[in-house]
Structure 1
Amino acid sequence: MTSDGWTWDPTLYAGSAAYYVTGRVPYPPGLASVLARALPTDGTGRLLDVGCGPGSLTLLLAPLFDSVVGVDADAEMLAVAAGQASDLGVRNVTWRHLRAESLPADLPTPTVVTFAQSFHWTDRPRVAAAVRSMLADGGALVHVHATTHEGDPTSVRMPHPQPPRAEIGALIRRYLGERRRAGRSVRPETYAPRQEETIYRAAGFHGPERHELPERTVTRSAEEVRASVYSLSNAAPHLFGDRFDEFDADLRALVDEETYSERLPVITIDVWR
């Protein structure tokens, strides 16, 4: 059970891995540049990326370290990550199928530990304490706060139409109900991201040293917008059961432009020591 009362189960992202790489906007290269300046890394350290998914952050940061381990509870995500690494010729990363709650497991001592869109799915106090216990002296924990599946609504003139995100949300609720799905159950409304600073400090971390990357406008194809929907835990393909084809047809009717523009929000990078 996580710290806010939700019980993890392996169907959380079942079927989503195939859509994740297409549906999520890559992290900007500037993120790696910020961390290269902020972290204790000279190309010889070890990185542990917790909840790595398909390796979106893992592979971006891999050149900064001698060795990298990406861990995730979803075997499909790790298979996609391994394929991405092979395609990119990245050879200093290994992938481990385990939950964050299993840390430190038998993993080597990391210089840096990263969380990106993953910490909230864990038993946060337990995992923060485990990471604190396994970090090398002088090491750092990095928490990347980012939204990569969709942009914020904006009145700013855009090169192309914005995706109909409100209508997509309504469509999901029409098929799956009003409460946000999360695996076999629903996500509790009590989750509070701002509790994380208290949790990190209770585990013995100091900080954060905060960095920000600015908003950015991205161009997205209709395929990418549709894939972004299936990359979400609350719209994972298996949730629709035998109505998936029906939902997909309705989604395609909504997302019918060739090209869209979205304004992705600020990325906040917190470094804890």
Structure 2
Amino acid sequence: MDDGAGRSWDPTLYAGSAAYYATGRVGYPAELAGALAGALGWDGTGRLLDVGCGPGSLTLLLAPWFAETVGLDADADMLREAERAAAAAGVRAVRWRQLRAEELPADLPPVDVVTFAQSFHWLDRPRVAATVRDMLTPGGVVVHVGATTHEGIDPDGPLPWPRPPRAEIAQLVRRRLGPARRAGQGVVTGTPGDEDAVYRAAGFTGPQRLEVPGRVVERSLDEVAASVHSLSSSAPHLFGDRFAEHDAELRALLARASPSGRFSEQMRSISLRVWRPV
């Protein structure tokens, strides 16, 4: 499907990875919601739109701060995982829409807050930024969440358990898929940057900057394996009928790295950038 601007959506981008995404990505901490609610005066009213919501990781964390929440994603499997997570958490004031961000505003009503978390770089950024600006109510904001949830960074000090052997994992993936980083039916040639310029060109001012400190998390062997399968560059469909073989080799590598099956990772801090219409 072409969005009219020469950009084609690849529905295989995360094919087969939705369940692994929900398990393998480290959840956003409660402190993230608290920092935003305190800075922006959220009080349980208003409407939130989470664009590129995936399995609802951020959507469900923020939903209690709003009267109505909409999670939007192009991937039906991701939304099924989000629905399951919402039911398990007992969150009812949220609905899910399978739409591309480029199809906004669709039939959605005005919103008070729009969030992008690990999704903006996949989009036609100028088009989507301009569209969501027009969707905001007076006083509304866009929150850009900068986070890495699939793996950690170099730790500040000793960790309770071994770190996942990320370099060896990357080597394993390259050996099976080749040196070019895969993404759906194509390859990744680089991640677009200069997001601040995109927001300003779309008519936003800011940003107001907030930060949530990083933390050390414990991860199981299953969670680390799922974190690898959650990536577009190593999604299950890329391995074809050899995925089970790849998964077994990955698990053997992890078992050698930590015979107990327990790992620790230092997660990087999360940056929150709040943009307001001019």
TM-score, length-normalised on structure 2? 0.94
Q: Hey, what does 1:75 align to over in structure 2?
A: 76
Equivalents in 2 of 1:85, 1:146: separation in Å? 22
| Aligned partner of residue 272 in structure 1, secondary structure | strand
What is the aligned residue count? 271
Q: Do the aligned partners of residues 113 and 220 (structure 1) sit closer, same or farther apart at CA in structure 2, a change above 3 Å counting?
A: same
* 1:209 and 2:208 correspond: yes
Identity of aligned residues (%): 63
Name the aligned partner's letter for residue 35 of structure 1: L
> C-alpha displacement at 1:229, in angstroms?
0.5
| Aligned partner of residue 172 in structure 1, secondary structure | helix
TM alignment of 1:1-273, pairs within 5 A: 7-39=8-40, 41-154=42-155, 156-189=157-190, 191-193=191-193, 195-256=194-255, 257=258, 258-273=261-276
* Contact map agreement 2:102 2:127 (CA 8 A) in 1: yes
Equivalents in 1 of 2:192, 2:231: separation in Å? 19
Equivalents in 1 of 2:108, 2:90: separation in Å? 23
> C-alpha displacement at 1:192, in angstroms?
3.2
Name the aligned partner's letter for residue 36 of structure 1: A
> C-alpha displacement at 1:155, in angstroms?
6.6
* Contact map agreement 1:13 1:236 (CA 8 A) in 2: yes
Equivalents in 2 of 1:269, 1:12: separation in Å? 26
> C-alpha displacement at 1:201, in angstroms?
0.3
* Contact map agreement 2:44 2:67 (CA 8 A) in 1: yes
* Contact map agreement 1:51 1:71 (CA 8 A) in 2: yes
Equivalents in 1 of 2:87, 2:220: separation in Å? 25
* CA offset digits 1:162-209 (Å, max 9, x no partner): 0000000111111111111111101122x333x100000000011000
Equivalents in 2 of 1:192, 1:231: separation in Å? 21
| Aligned partner of residue 247 in structure 2, secondary structure | helix
Equivalents in 2 of 1:221, 1:5: separation in Å? 42
* CA offset digits 1:41-74 (Å, max 9, x no partner): 3211000000000000000000100000000000
| Aligned partner of residue 209 in structure 1, secondary structure | strand
Name the aligned partner's letter for residue 272 of structure 1: W
Equivalents in 1 of 2:105, 2:137: separation in Å? 12
Equivalents in 2 of 1:179, 1:153: separation in Å? 25
Equivalents in 1 of 2:110, 2:7: separation in Å? 30
Q: Provide structure 2 residue ranges, at least 5 long, that are not aligned to the other structure.
A: none
Q: Do the aligned partners of residues 42 and 81 (structure 1) sit closer, same or farther apart at CA in structure 2, a change above 3 Å counting?
A: same
Name the aligned partner's letter for residue 262 of structure 2: T
> C-alpha displacement at 1:85, in angstroms?
0.5
* CA offset digits 1:11-70 (Å, max 9, x no partner): 001111111121011100000001101225321100000000000000000010000000
Q: Do the aligned partners of residues 155 and 133 (structure 1) sit closer, same or farther apart at CA in structure 2, a change above 3 Å counting?
A: closer
Equivalents in 2 of 1:111, 1:11: separation in Å? 32
Equivalents in 2 of 1:26, 1:155: separation in Å? 21
Equivalents in 1 of 2:182, 2:39: separation in Å? 37
Equivalents in 2 of 1:177, 1:98: separation in Å? 32
Q: Do the aligned partners of residues 132 and 158 (structure 1) sit closer, same or farther apart at CA in structure 2, a change above 3 Å counting?
A: same
| Aligned partner of residue 148 in structure 1, secondary structure | coil
| Aligned partner of residue 34 in structure 2, secondary structure | helix
TM-score, length-normalised on structure 1? 0.96
> C-alpha displacement at 1:246, in angstroms?
1.6
Which sits farther off after the overlay, 153-162 or 242-251? 153-162
* Contact map agreement 2:7 2:124 (CA 8 A) in 1: no
Name the aligned partner's letter for residue 22 of structure 1: T
